[in-house]
Structure 1
Amino acid sequence: MRADTLFTGGRIHTGDPARPVTDALAVTAGRITALGATAHALRDERTETVDLAGGALLPSWGDGHVHPLIGGLGLRGVPVRDCATLAEVVEAVRVWAEEHPEAEWITGDAFDPWLAEGGLFDAALLDAVVPDRPVLLRTMDHHTGWANSEALRRAGYTADTPEPAHGEIVRRPDGSPLGTLREFGALNPVLALVPLPDLAEQVDALRGTARVLASAGVTWIQDAWVEAVQVDTWIAAVADDGLAVRANLALLLEPDGWAGRLPRLAADRERVEAAGGGRLTARAVKFFADGVVESGTAALLEPYSDCPHSHGAANWTGAELADAVTAVDALGFQPHIHAIGDHGVRIALDAIEAAARRNGPRARRPVIAHVQLVDPADLPRFAELGVIANFEPLWAQSDPLMTELTLPRIGPERGARQYQIAALLRSGARVSFGSDWPVTRYEPLAGLATAVTRQTPEGLPEGGWLPQERIGLDEALAAYSAGVAHQAFEEDAWGVLRVGLRADLVHLAADPYAVPAGELAGVAVLGTWLGGRRTH
């Protein structure tokens, strides 16, 4: 046997406790065939040698919760992501509208929800620059929209419009819509009016996102929100080996009429599996147990501190969620449940427990994503039920979202038990990491820095926010590699560097163990390989 590729000239961190570090790695036919001196012995004149140039080679990373199509298309609208004030957002809308007179709708994604006091956005500000075409912008968490008056008019929203199920039309004192729409019950009627890009544009956006993720060292992703109309986009994108990552799809299941949609989920899974060639699967089902704290829609066990009459909004009753999770579990799907508030987390755990009790034992590996607030009584249930806690580590910092919106809404006691990554690891629970991009940055290196330090990019606060929840670099790297591979049911294929496993690799310009933790986000990714094929 000879090596097709030999990696040498730097430190190779395998992620395998049996052999954590080596100096060479050989790849043949897309698989790791040797490490160390044995790898050197497989080199001949036809072997490609990759000089790590003093950097490091590691297992590539997965993203256990990301929105590649939503994010890719969102980048093509008004560039509001980096706006620092409301005035900047409004000016960006004005400029984009002038430059695109042909656009029927003006849309933009991922602006910061703390730019307006209390997260309340007024249509009048958008009306001043675009009075005659509909405008819909979505905050970085995608749970809140900012509409102008024309968008509200087209959706039929008036003072007489009943409050939608699973959503809120924020109103002025006279009952008329302010322009702020919270959660999907209020957003979806407006989103349904926005023309979809054609298939070619969607495929281009998806493939572009895959290339961007590959450039950050990612080789596997969980698309955590796939609607039925998007399945064909994924199938088209994977054709002709057109994706730079492997992907699993979580098919969305909403509460209304959920049982009638089960056959469609199963049929879409079969279509994806048939077309995916092993690179694309659709083995998960996505549930939204609740909303988000910043908009007051996360479901809490106790009332909001700034709104004592509200516990937030669970999208499912506990009994309904248990029935639906049990049904998709019986079909062999992996439940993937968005749960932010401690009540949302509890009903998600209850539903998973019900599915296991009713359907019997199997390797189900359910995922609860985000896990912002967990009641102390529920912490041990993750390990007991085999639930994977999928965290977005970039959320675990004291940034303006936390200080200006989240903490005032939940108060100091609950605020001090957010994103308990270390506590769940200590309990024996399995943890995976994701980005939730476009909500936050897609680069795992940025997430590693936050998970290890619990600090902002500016290094604040000194000592870290809730420092008891900091984790070590070994644990953080494993959450992005072996942890996501476990979530994907693929720990026998990738996630560590071991002979026989797929050569999914990332080459960094510096050894992450030799870089101050707060500087990890600045380390360059020099190369990414998926099954031995270079994707970046």
Structure 2
Amino acid sequence: MTRNTEPEIVIVNAEVSSAVPGATSVAVTGGRVHAVDRESLDGLAGPRTEVIDARGATLLPGFTDAHVHPLAAGVQILTCDLSGLPHSPDRYRDAICSYAAEHPDLGWISGNGWYGDTFPGGLPHRDFLDEILPDRPAVFVSHDAHGVWANSRALALAGIDDATPDPHNGRIDRDHDGRATGILVERAGDLVTSLLPPVTDEFVESALLAAQAHLHSMGITGWQDACVGSLWGLPDPLQAYQKLAEEGRLTARVIGALWWSAEKGLEQIPSLVEKRSVSAVGRFRATSVKIMQDGVCENCTGAMLKPYAGNFHRGAVCGLSFIDPEQLQLICQELDRRRFQIHLHAVGDRAVRECLDALEAASKVHSGHDNRHQIAHLDVVSPDDVPRFAELGVIANIQALWARRDSEIVERKLPLLGPEREPHHFPFGDLHRKGARLAMGSDWPVTDPNPLWAIYTAANRLGPPEDPHATGAEALTVPLEETQAIDQRVALEAYTAGSAYANHAESEIGRIAPGMFADLVLLDRPILSGERVSAARPLLTLVEGQAVYREA
């Protein structure tokens, strides 16, 4: 090897996840994997080569998060962030009071990340915020982004009182006396978040960069942004992505899923086509379209085939289909015809069926397109629909960290599903056994973006001991439907090669092999040979051989 082609990096004494059995060394040249071997490759090193001794730890392909919301997550990092706190009303009160005191000039106090199970009855109340902030409007988006918690001042500014009718695809939560509680579900939250002061372009860029830095620290080298559009009171991040990519500050590989407005129809397609045509800059491309077909089970807006069990919310017996199923079929046909990938949100079993029906209709009209459509979340899937993923070539985009018996699942969700549906809750095992392609993502900031925690939960159906939100007597010890677990290596592949496939990038990333981009993550321990995967942490993250994260 000549001086001009000497490796930039050689990693030795590693447990390498590759097709070479027993591989221990990887050499990186020109941003790509040059060699993978069972023997040490330090002999290839030149005077400018960085030689890294992994000391037996695992070297993996960089993770690709197949479903994430970096702008919302970055805003959460930079505002009043409740997501990392213990589930304690007192801790929430202290954090909100401190943030308000530190920002006396803010007209609105806003934040994110609250968990419903922190409060008696499973939801907070506006009275809690009124005690803290009686005069300034306050609004906090829930950790799952399907609910907004507002104080009385914010409700008044939005014109919401006890008699305000529910908006389309939304609900104003009310107590037994008919009083608005301050909880606004789904699109009802827009009534308040639309009043938040405009977010500056500079703040959007800062939020995306903050999210990128955190994702890189998790070993994530690329993702699919599941909402490139205006939502939750936040602007469309498309131009910010383009600017960061042009300036070389977007170090991750990003596919943008352009937001489909359920309130509009097919007339929005030309705008999406135009956005796609101008979006290909650097490592960013907006080639997918995100369609949200239902809500979530916890507030009974997830669309179910049969009524919710237990004490369901008013007017939500079987949940909500945000788009008429026949219209959804037309939408999918038109998007598929224009070679968009379709990224569908479906939580309830009825929504999953409606999405599969729509994609099947599209495939019959435009057979042979390799658009790699996917359905995300899949909280409940009818056994009749599980084989259809493989039959239709639809990717099952799963958020595995949710599949554990924590307090929120046990106390709020399972009673609504009932025993008949519980065995089909997050049916990863059934989907894998029936041949479905799996891709994994976090849905951050809904839940933590740590892929190693998600892989642990996918394989064990337990909460990671390291996760502060894995609360409750059963979260760490009683598996959630153990038969739905998947092998750890299957989960690992879903978060690497599977998500790379979903982003049409499997020929360049997702595996450690000669010629592939050197998008790599070096852990602090060997997870392939037995150490608990959730306890591991990244020491080094590379994108094309360049360090985008290195533990200090």
TM-score, normalized by length of structure 2? 0.92
Deviation at 1:410, TM superposition (A): 0.8
Matches within 5 A, 1:23-422: 23-36=24-37, 37=39, 39-40=41-42, 42-81=44-83, 82-184=85-187, 186-227=188-229, 229-273=236-280, 276-277=281-282, 279-307=283-311, 310-422=317-429
- Residue 480 of structure 1 corresponds to which residue in structure 2? 495
2:271 partner letter: R
Deviation at 1:6, TM superposition (A): 4.0
Say which is worse superposed, 470-479 or 483-492, in terms of deviation. Answer: 470-479
1:217 partner letter: G
Query: Structure 2: how far apart are the matches of 1:272 and 1:289?
Result: 25
1:235-278 CA-to-partner distances (Å, cap 9, x unmatched) read 222232102311111111022223221111111112211xx12x
Pairing partner for 1:514 from 523, 529, 532: 529
CA contact (8 A) 2:10 2:42 kept: no
- Residue 470 of structure 2 corresponds to which residue in structure 1? none
Q: SS in structure 2 opposite 1:193? A: coil
Deviation at 1:98, TM superposition (A): 2.2
Deviation at 1:463, TM superposition (A): 6.0
Query: Structure 2: how far apart are the matches of 1:410 and 1:71?
Result: 29
1:32 partner letter: V
Distance 1:354 1:118, change over 3 A: farther
Deviation at 1:368, TM superposition (A): 0.4
Query: Structure 2: how far apart are the matches of 1:211 and 1:95?
Result: 25
CA contact (8 A) 1:422 1:469 kept: yes
CA contact (8 A) 2:77 2:210 kept: no
Query: Structure 2: how far apart are the matches of 1:43 and 1:469?
Result: 46
Query: Structure 2: how far apart are the matches of 1:460 and 1:90?
Result: 26
Does 2:538 match 1:525? yes
Distance 1:15 1:289, change over 3 A: farther
Deviation at 1:38, TM superposition (A): 9.0
Distance 1:426 1:200, change over 3 A: same
Query: Structure 2: how far apart are the matches of 1:63 and 1:191?
Result: 27
Deviation at 1:44, TM superposition (A): 3.0
Superposition RMSD in Å: 1.8
Identity score, percent:
34
Deviation at 1:93, TM superposition (A): 2.1
1:88-116 CA-to-partner distances (Å, cap 9, x unmatched) read 32332223222211111111111112223
Deviation at 1:399, TM superposition (A): 0.5
- Residue 455 of structure 1 corresponds to which residue in structure 2? 462
Query: Structure 2: how far apart are the matches of 1:344 and 1:313?
Result: 9
CA contact (8 A) 1:451 1:470 kept: yes
1:282 partner letter: A
2:535 partner letter: G
Query: Structure 2: how far apart are the matches of 1:466 and 1:281?
Result: 38
Deviation at 1:471, TM superposition (A): 1.6
Deviation at 1:77, TM superposition (A): 2.1
Say which is worse superposed, 292-301 or 167-176, in terms of deviation. Answer: 167-176
1:54-90 CA-to-partner distances (Å, cap 9, x unmatched) read 2221111110011111110022222322142234323
Say which is worse superposed, 63-72 or 228-237, in terms of deviation. Answer: 228-237
Query: Structure 2: how far apart are the matches of 1:463 and 1:298?
Result: 25
Q: SS in structure 1 opposite 2:418? A: helix
Query: Structure 1: how far apart are the matches of 2:255 and 2:370?
Result: 17
Deviation at 1:193, TM superposition (A): 0.7
TM-score, normalized by length of structure 1? 0.95
CA contact (8 A) 2:205 2:244 kept: yes
CA contact (8 A) 1:32 1:502 kept: yes
1:101-133 CA-to-partner distances (Å, cap 9, x unmatched) read 111111111111222344333212211111111
